[in-house]
Amino acid sequence: MLSLRLCRWVSFYQWFFTLYNSGQLVYWSGCVPTNQDDGDVMKVGDTFADTDFVFTCAQSEEGVMSYEAIACVDAHGKRMQLGEMRKLSNGTVILHCNIYGGAVKKVVERAAGCYFNETIYGEDELWVEPLRNGKPDKTFKKKVKFTKVKFDENGSQLSGRLMQCFRPHFSYYESQVIGCAVGRVGVRFDDIIELSGKHFRCVQEDEGILKLNPVGIDEMSCKMDNQTYSHLANWTDTSRAAQMSCMYGHLKKTGCLVAERSIPIGQEVQISNGCVFLCHPQTNVYICDRKLGNWTIEESGGLEKPAAPRKFSL
């Protein structure tokens, strides 16, 4: 029968040993977080939390003791499981708890994006910020900038502001209002939306008030080469080998027409003079290995630096 002798000590790894007198056997008794002889002993399976991590005293099937971190503790003293993340400093800082390099660590990083109304949006991300009538709730007064709601003549209501996250010149992130939202449909400023058979343009007045202004049919026409084209009109410009359309007052190139063959935007085709024709959304490009005819380079006035290499269009 084993009897306990008055001998015990703490190792360098915070493990507590008890020595028995039968055969001079050493048994693991627990863990001591303070690593002091007179420190409190943790039993196997117990946990201990300090200001940064949660530790446990464990014993493997082979009988090996371990005192290791199994979770993290955030700045508010709350436990964080492995793989969990928390937003700090109004969402501008993110705290991660995970295993890095074989050990549990806390990693802090600055959030990349726009922090708006308790949500972080990435660069160029779009979202809708709802509009609210009447007085704002007290809990939102400091977090939401409210916009007054106006109604268009057919009774359609603006339901929100179309927002986007920008990062000008790769510096700070900035959230901006870029248009209106009607239900789940967003429309940018000065663009046109059709509601119940009528057309409206999203505008922002001087005081930041959003409004849908009615748009007449003439305002949606397009002008090109001294000609006027109606909304939804389609035509072919033979001089530019381009297929064009007019939509909500904007000209749009929809394709190319070469030798009575329609070419989609972005497609390259081999043509009979040995060149490659590229249907570009703006100006068509002819790529040739050999010189075509006799031509000279037109010099532009006021150039202080050498011009960048250009692709010549015919």
128-184 pLDDT, tens digit per residue, is 988 765 333 344 333 334 344 444 444 346 888 999 998 887 778 888 999 999 888
Instruction: Check residue 155 and give its pLDDT.
Output: 39
Q: Are residues 21 and 106 in the same domain?
A: yes
Predicted confidence (pLDDT) at residue 28 exceeds the cutoff of 80: no
Q: Are residues 142 and 190 in the same domain?
A: yes
Number of domains in the chain: 2
Count of other CB atoms within 10 angstroms of residue 240: 16
Q: Taking the model in full, what pTM does it have? A: 0.50
Reported as a single tens digit per residue, the pLDDT across 73-93 is: 988 889 999 999 887 776 667
Assigned domain for 66 exists: yes
Assigned domain for 206 exists: yes
Q: Are residues 89 and 157 in the same domain?
A: no
Instruction: Check residue 151 and give its pLDDT.
Output: 41
Q: Could you give the percent of the chain with pLDDT greater than 70?
A: 77
Chain centroid offset of residue 47 CA: 39
Q: Are residues 36 and 79 in the same domain?
A: yes
Q: Are residues 99 and 133 in the same domain?
A: no
Assigned domain for 43 exists: yes
Task: Provide the CB-side half-sphere exposure for 266 (13 A, CA).
Answer: 0
Chain centroid offset of residue 216 CA: 37
Reported as a single tens digit per residue, the pLDDT across 264-292 is: 999 999 988 888 999 999 998 989 888 77
Q: Are 156 and 129 contacting, i.e. CB atoms less than 8 angstroms apart? A: no
Among 214, 247, 281, the domain-final residue is 214
Rounded Cα gap, residues 242 and 240, in angstroms: 5
Domain holding 144, by residue range, is 114-214
Q: Mean pLDDT, the chain, as a whole number?
A: 78
Instruction: Check residue 139 and give its pLDDT.
Output: 40
As a dihedral over the C-alpha atoms of residue 274, residue 279, residue 285, residue 287, rounded to 10 degrees, the angle is: -30
Reported as a single tens digit per residue, the pLDDT across 212-238 is: 899 998 889 999 999 999 999 999 998
C-alpha radius of gyration, the chain, whole number: 35
- CA-CA distances (angstroms) from residue 307 to 12, 128, 143, 260, 290? 71, 43, 49, 36, 22
Instruction: Check residue 131 and give its pLDDT.
Output: 78
Assigned domain for 260 exists: no
Rounded Cα gap, residues 66 and 83, in angstroms: 22
Q: Could you give the percent of the chain with pLDDT greater than 90?
A: 25
Average the pLDDT over 47-61 and give the result: 88
Assigned domain for 75 exists: yes
Assigned domain for 250 exists: no
Q: Are residues 40 and 104 in the same domain?
A: yes
As a dihedral over the C-alpha atoms of residue 144, residue 145, residue 150, residue 152, rounded to 10 degrees, the angle is: -80
